[in-house]
Structure 1
Amino acid sequence: MRKPAGNKKSTTMNASMAQSCTTEGYLEAMKEVLVLTERRYEGDGSLSNMPREYVDNVLQEDGLVVDALMRVGFAAKRVAWCNDGIRWDACAAALFRTTWDYFDRWEAFSAWLNHASNQTTLFNDPGILRWNLDKHYLQDLEQEGVAIVPTAYVPKHGHVPLFEVCDQRGWNDVVIKPAIAGGAFDTYRVTAQGDGQVLSPEPSNGSNSKELWHGLVAKHDMLVQPFLQDVVASGEVSLIWIDGQITHAVKKRAKQGDFRVQDDHGGTVKRIDVSDELVQLGTDIMERCTRLCHDRGWASPLYARVDLMRDDNEAWQLSELELVEPELWFRFCPPAADALAQAIQRRLQA
């Protein structure tokens, strides 16, 4: 049986909408796709305190998507997910793009997601969004046969010391990160050195590794993963997936002395050509993910970013599969934005 294109809202106009707009205006609104960002990047991005070049990249990326949607006949505009002036039931769909503050405003975001998913079609499917917002999804993918970076999961308020987690697995150089976060937020490299541990980056409050771990576990479910040296030596490869195919790929590199590849932290990115082997690996990961989605009654993913690293044996492993608000680097491959817009059109017409 063919799976649904996405979550479908009711097609019945409610009484308040009938009073507030004409039939013509309502039908016109139903051709609108909203491209979701956050408050800092709404409009010209002037509320952001990030460097202007960074903000301009955000605006360019979202702008390419808006333009592509308009080319296939939609009205389209960028709006912050938290914009109280938006009638979510008066648009055809909402597309997640640069909603990068969700973990800072988790309760408000979760409530909004529950509301919006009952008002309009969301891309990706809201079931996928809720699942992928928490990095415990890696466990599910591993059970589907995907080779992931080995991961230990420590629950919030857990009392297991970090050194014990590492000793149990024979790790002396690890990365720790919250299960719900993005952009390397509260992410640290912890390296055993003599009788102590070295932290990178150094915590702003000057805490040692024990104090840092205690504070993080008090706030978050945490993940612990072995640090893979190839991230520093060669970088991380990201494959961009749009509605069934890999459209392009990039390599992200950390700045000298850091391990975080995100441009928020000084990392760089460039488009690369990848081998047939990597394309096949990315395709296989997405096929396994899609089967999992179908088994749970969700639509197929519309877009994804497959982040890959090589382990110490040079085997590729999945570090993250981003299905909510991944940067997709359309500025390196504008036709991929058109592919996304065309896929949205097909799904809404299905």
Structure 2
Amino acid sequence: MPRTDVVILTEDRYANPNLAHWYEQQIATEDGLVAEALRARGLRVERRSWADPDVDWRDTRCALFRSTWDYFDRFDAFGRWFDQAATQTRLFNDAATLRWNMNKRYLAALREAGVAIVPTVYVARGVATTLGDILAAQGWPEAVFKPVVSGAARLTYRVDTTTAAAHEAIFADCVAAEAMMVQAFEPAIISDGELSLIVIDGVTTHAIRKTAKAGDFRVQDDHGGTVHAHTPDAAECTFAEAAVRACPELPVYARVDFVRRGPGDYRLMELELLEPELFFRFHPPAAEALAEAIVRRLGPSAPAA
């Protein structure tokens, strides 16, 4: 019989968070809200790093991805661990959904399913092309390029037709090392910010709006961005929930990041299913909703997967 029902997954840096540091305290708050909600429903909960060599993943009924934010920096090691853990316990979100979401080519699949995305061009590793060629072919005045496996704005650059030449060497080095993507730059990121709707079990629970600091375009708070509470309207909820329903399987949790071009005109930036910050501190009942969703899937006395 497994001794634990749920292991909340983090990474080595945050396994023992420093509560005197605002960022780590924030992580502890978010993970703590989920842990408390699960324990209130009678589940045995631990919080461990995915890379902890002392964990036997057969000894828990499920593992819940939360702050595993180094996976793209240690992708080979993470991939080996993931493949093994998926055979030993149940993962939330499920393993197939997470594998699909690790590579940002999933956006092309969502586009084919009818979800409006930010216009995107994918560049396979080693392909000979330039930013100038892509901008000219697409007719884009500005673009952002980044790896297809990434997060936290890693190797993310904004260019336009006048600055692309200065970035060609960086882009060439990136493409030589890994697959990349180039997306049309959405001016609404600067003027309005990025909306993030949190969807639990297919239903929007709450939302936030992220804005970049002056002179930047990256909205993440670890790059100086600011997070604001946001009350989503019906059209925004409809867009976010439709994007989630377009996944191969309905995820337990999702964060839908998109921009508003105008009333009712949205473009998906990312559909975060692996380890998104879900901003429970803005709406603690969403942590309760996530706990309920996990309990429904596990069942009160379900055996280990």
Instruction: Give TM class, smaller chain.
Output: over 0.9
TM-score, length-scaled by structure 1: 0.83
Once the two structures are superposed, the pairs formed by residues 57-76 of structure 1 within 5 Å of their partners are 57-76=26-45
1:57-136 residue pairs with structure 2 within 5 A? 57-136=26-105
Matched with 2:296 is: 346
CA contact (8 A) 1:228 1:310 kept: no
Aligned match of 2:123: 154
After superposition, residues 1-350 of structure 1 pair within 5 angstroms as: 26-27=1-2, 29=3, 31-45=4-18, 52-193=21-162, 196-197=163-164, 208-289=166-247, 292-293=248-249, 300-311=250-261, 315-349=265-299
Q: What is the aligned-residue identity percentage?
A: 45
Question: In structure 2, do the counterparts of structure 1 residues 240 and 313 end up closer, same or farther at CA, with 3 Å as the change threshold?
Answer: closer
For residue 292 of structure 2, give the secondary structure of its aligned residue in structure 1.
helix
Mapped to 2, the partners of 1:149 and 1:77 lie a distance apart of: 38
Q: CA deviation at 1:313?
A: 8.9
What does the per-residue CA deviation read over 1:160-191, in whole Å, with 9 as the maximum and x for residues that have no partner?
Answer: 11110111001121000100000110000012
CA contact under 8 A between 1:238 and 1:251: conserved in structure 2? yes
In the alignment, is the contact (CA less than 8 A) between 1:35 and 1:97 conserved in 2? yes
Question: Aligned-pair RMSD on alpha carbons?
Answer: 1.6
Unaligned runs of 5+ residues in structure 2 are none
Q: Partners of 2:266 and 2:60 in 1: how far apart?
A: 41
* Per-residue Cα deviation, 1:132-186 (whole angstroms, up to 9, x for no partner): 0000000110110100000000001111111101110011210001000001100
Residue 67 of structure 1 aligns to a residue whose secondary structure is helix
How far apart in 2 are the matches of 1:323 and 1:181? 13
Structure number with greater Rg is 1
Task: Name the amino acid aligned to 1:62.
Answer: D
Moved more, 53-62 or 311-320: 311-320
**Runs in 1 of length 4+ with deviation above 4 angstroms?**
none
Distance 1:314 1:286 in 2: 18
The answer (yes or no) to whether the contact 1:93–1:121 under 8 Å persists in 2 is yes
Structure 2 distance, partners of 1:229, 1:314, is 16
Deviation at 1:284, TM superposition (A): 1.6
2-structure distance, mates of 1:321, 1:92: 26
Aligned equivalents of 2:115 and 2:11: distance in 1?
32
Stretches of structure 1 lacking an aligned partner (at least 5 in a row)? 1-25, 199-207, 294-299
Amino acid at match of 1:232: I
Contact 1:64 1:334 in 2 (8 A): yes
Count residues in correspondence.
300
The TM-score, its normalising length taken from structure 2, stands at 0.95
Judging changes above 3 Å, is the alpha-carbon distance between structure 1 residues 314 and 287 closer, same or farther for their aligned structure 2 residues? closer
